[in-house]
């Protein structure tokens, strides 16, 4: 049987589209043999690998979120704050261990001291996931062993290479596609988001060529700092996956 790997990019609120992709994969009958996640994609990957369904994860997001991801990042107990995220992970995942997960998981982070990308797949889980999601300037780096971890998307927002040799086919779910922008849209958060996307575009383009199926949901309407469109973002991911149903069925 073909072993399929899944890559989940970062993307803030847009990463909810990954849940739609996972829901579509379940309906087609393809279960990831391994998952690579970064930033918000690492959070979703960890929860799915711990045996939560996409719809159960959606319920968690609704429970802990508000309409503004930027506001949530600044709240000490919020889903996307460092302390809040670790507390939630501890409450919903039984063991702080990669090895205890149902599906092998690779989480990519950035070590701010060495300036290198570091991927973890063994040992303690929670600090690594929190570190991978720690947006610079909003969160302090997470100390883990000899590393000081920040958002993995800074250097690699589409970590495909760590799945090489672990699966036969790779599906990549990427939610940070560059869309045309009008001057009237240049608010502070939109400029921050745009700069981030421009900085990572080259690496994402290079890594995208290594996947067998690239899923890029149409998310131009939705910013990476807004949570109020969670259902629409989920549906965009689901629709993008199901548009490739025939190809995926042939893999089986």
Cite the active site residues: 39, 151
Strand (E) positions, 137-179? 142-144, 147-150, 169-173
Which residues are 106's β-sheet partners?
Answer: 36
Calpha distance 181→201 (Å, rounded): 15
Q: How far is CA 70 from CA 34, 95, 188, 233, in A?
A: 30, 29, 11, 17
Calpha distance 249→35 (Å, rounded): 20
By CB atoms closer than 10 A (0-12, 13-18, 19+), residue 251 is: middle
Which residues are 107's β-sheet partners?
Answer: 37, 120
Strand (E) positions, the chain? 4-8, 34-38, 105-111, 116-120, 142-144, 147-150, 169-173, 213-215
Q: In this structure, what is the dihedral angle of CA atoms 129, 135, 136, 141, given to the nearest 10 degrees?
A: -20
SS3 150: strand
Nearest Cα neighbor of 109 from 88, 134, 86, 90 is 134
């Amino acid at each position: 049987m073909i072993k399929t790997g899944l890559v989940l990019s970062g993307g803030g609120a847009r990463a909810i589209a990954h849940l739609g992709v996972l829901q579509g994969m379940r309906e087609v009958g393809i279960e990831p043999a391994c998952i690579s996640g970064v930033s918000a994609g690492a959070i979703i990957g960890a929860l799915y690998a711990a045996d939560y369904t996409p719809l159960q994860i959606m319920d968690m997001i609704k429970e802990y979120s508000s309409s503004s991801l930027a506001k949530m990042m600044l709240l000490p107990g919020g889903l996307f704050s460092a302390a809040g995220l670790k507390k939630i992970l501890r409450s919903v995942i039984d063991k702080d261990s990669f090895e205890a997960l149902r599906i092998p998981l690779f989480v990519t982070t950035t070590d701010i001291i060495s300036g290198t990308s570091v991927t973890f797949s063994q040992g303690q889980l929670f600090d690594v996931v929190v570190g991978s999601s720690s947006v610079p300037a909003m969160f302090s780096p997470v100390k883990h062993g000899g590393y000081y971890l920040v958002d993995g998307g800074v250097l690699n927002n589409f970590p495909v290479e760590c799945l090489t040799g672990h699966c036969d086919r790779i599906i990549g779910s990427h939610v940070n596609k560059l869309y045309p922008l009008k001057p009237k849209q240049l608010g502070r958060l939109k400029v921050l988001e745009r700069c981030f996307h421009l900085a990572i575009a080259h690496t994402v383009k290079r890594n995208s060529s290594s996947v067998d199926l690239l899923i890029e949901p149409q998310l131009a309407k939705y910013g990476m700092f807004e949570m109020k469109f969670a259902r629409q973002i989920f549906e965009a991911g689901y629709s993008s996956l199901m548009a490739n149903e025939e190809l995926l069925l042939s893999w089986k």
